[in-house]
Each structure stands twice: as C-alpha cells, then as structure tokens.
Amino acid sequence: MPDTHHAQLDWDERGQPLSRSYGDVYFSQENGLEETRYVFLANNDLAARFAALTDGECLNIGETGFGTGLNFLCAWQLFEQQAPAGARLHFVSVEKYPLRHDDLQRALALWPELAPFSAELLTQYRAIHPGFQRLLLAGGRVMLTLLIGDAREQLPLLDARIDAWFLDGFNPAKNPEMWTPGLFAELARLSAANATLGTFSSAGVVRRALNEAGFQMRRVPGLGKKWEVLKGHFIGNPQNEGKPWFSRAKAKRHRL
C-alpha cells in the first residue's frame, strides 16, 4: 500500500532530493546554504535581531514548507552564534508531506557544518504525525513546532504572534495552494506588529497578494541564477479586519 503521508522523493546525481509529487527541488541545487542564509536569514535581519534579544525573550519564526529542515537548522545555528544565553527561539513550520526519518538523514548529510544541529533534530524527529507536534532542542532553549498537514487547514488552528516569516513552499506554478490570498490572510492574522517576511518567489501575483494581505513587499536582488526575491514587513490592513477567510467560531486554536 503506497505511503501517502510522507514525501515521495527522487534523488539526483549529486544526491540532492527532489519532490516527486511537485516536480520541484527542495533547495537551490547550486547554493542551498547560501540561498537560505540570504533569502530567509539576511532578509529578515535575523543576526541583529537575535543579538538584540534580552534574557528570557523569545523570537518566533513562522515557515510555510518545512521540507528538509534546512531553513530551521540555519536559523538555529545563527541563533546559537548571535543570541545571548538566556534568549529563546521558537520555530513554527507547516508541512503537508514530511520526510521519512531516513530521507531526512540522507538529505541533511549534504551539510556537514550543520551536523551538530542535524544530529539533535534527527534524535527527536520520530513518529511524526498529522497535527501539531513539538520538539524541544538545545536544552529547551530552542522549540520546534511542526504543523503536519495542509497549511490551509493547520494555520487556522494556530494562535501565535510571529516575528519573522519564511515562505518556502514549492514554486507557485507547481504548488499554488501554498501561495493563495487566503493563506496570506492567515499569515497576517498571526503576524506581530512589524513582522518581517522573506521568500524566494518574486512572482508578481505573490507580491500583490501579500500587499493586499497587509504586507509591504518589494523585490530585491536574488542570489546566483535567481535574479530577484521578495522581502517586506507587516503593516496591517484594517480593511480586512473582521473578514476572515475561515470560520473562526469553529476553530479550536493551539496557543503557542
């Protein structure tokens, strides 16, 4: 019986994973680490924001598309490098098709410099099931909350205030469900004041829909073969207040 819960992968000649369902790559085949650090870490100004955290303060990152966990591991590594000892990181990521443990291990072996973080993640990445699942890492200083399922169903169940967003679903042309106005309205609902956002996509339809949801987005230079990407921040959109895209009365939310 086919496994419809986990990601179905193919592996290219360089040992990099490809999504069989979406016909797309999980990260840049030329510079995966550099792309993550530029598109998501730098464009959300995370080095300075981690360094500015005070004792007991937590920065909350939200992500659409956990994939191989590369973005999370890079954010965790930067947090360890920059944040004071008493600060905390909470990373919330939604993923419809999680990788099996052995596939995740194989993919993360591509990044030896992340090995200490990968090893700890792999130790706890067990029995990944639909719904909400929380992993405590770095002695509880780093928290990873996985929302396993369709983002359009999982995000309405979330009650959080996200400080920085990573939009990393597969290409909008191949995975349009991850780039809809309804989903962007959910990001707006969950955003803290002045929350920032970075994404590899520079598509006009994505930029316009994010702007309409209350984010002020602009194109900035990309990396390598990617000419442009998007970055921006949440400015709010009072016109949409009280007009949710789902029935809030029926949503029993998980407060983070």
How confident is the model at residue 241, as a pLDDT?
A: 44
How confident is the model at residue 83, as a pLDDT?
A: 98
Position 100: which residue type?
R
Residue 251 lies inside a defined structural domain of this protein: no
Number of domains in the chain: 1
How confident is the model at residue 169, as a pLDDT?
A: 79
Residue 247 lies inside a defined structural domain of this protein: no
Residue 40 lies inside a defined structural domain of this protein: yes
Write the burial class of residue 187 (CB in 10 Å: 0-12 exposed, 13-18 middle, 19+ buried): buried
How confident is the model at residue 102, as a pLDDT?
A: 96
Residue 256 lies inside a defined structural domain of this protein: no
Per-residue pLDDT band for 222 (boundaries 50, 70, 90) equals confident
pLDDT tens digits, residue range 164-203?
999 987 778 888 889 999 999 999 999 999 999 999 998 9
Residue 42 lies inside a defined structural domain of this protein: yes
- Assess whether pLDDT exceeds 90 at residue 255: no
Residue 121 lies inside a defined structural domain of this protein: yes
Q: What is the CATH number of the domain that holds 103?
A: 3.40.50.150
- Assess whether pLDDT exceeds 80 at residue 125: yes
- Which of 99-127 are b and which e, b meaning 16 or more Cβ less than 10 Å from the residue's Cβ? bbeebbebbbebbeebeebbebbeeebee
Q: Please give the average per-residue pLDDT across 57-64, as a whole number.
A: 98
Backbone angles phi, psi at 90, to 5 degrees: -120, 120
Full residue range of the structural domain in which residue 141 is found: 9-236
Span of 129-138, 207-216, 219-228 with lowest mean pLDDT: 219-228
How confident is the model at residue 4, as a pLDDT?
A: 62
Helices 204-213, 181-190: inter-axial angle, 10-degree rounding: 40
3-class state of residue 88 by DSSP: strand
Residue 254 lies inside a defined structural domain of this protein: no
Residue with more model confidence, 206 or 31: 206
Residue 244 lies inside a defined structural domain of this protein: no
H-helix segments, the chain: 32-36, 46-51, 70-82, 101-108, 115-124, 151-154, 181-190, 204-213
- Assess whether pLDDT exceeds 60 at residue 248: no
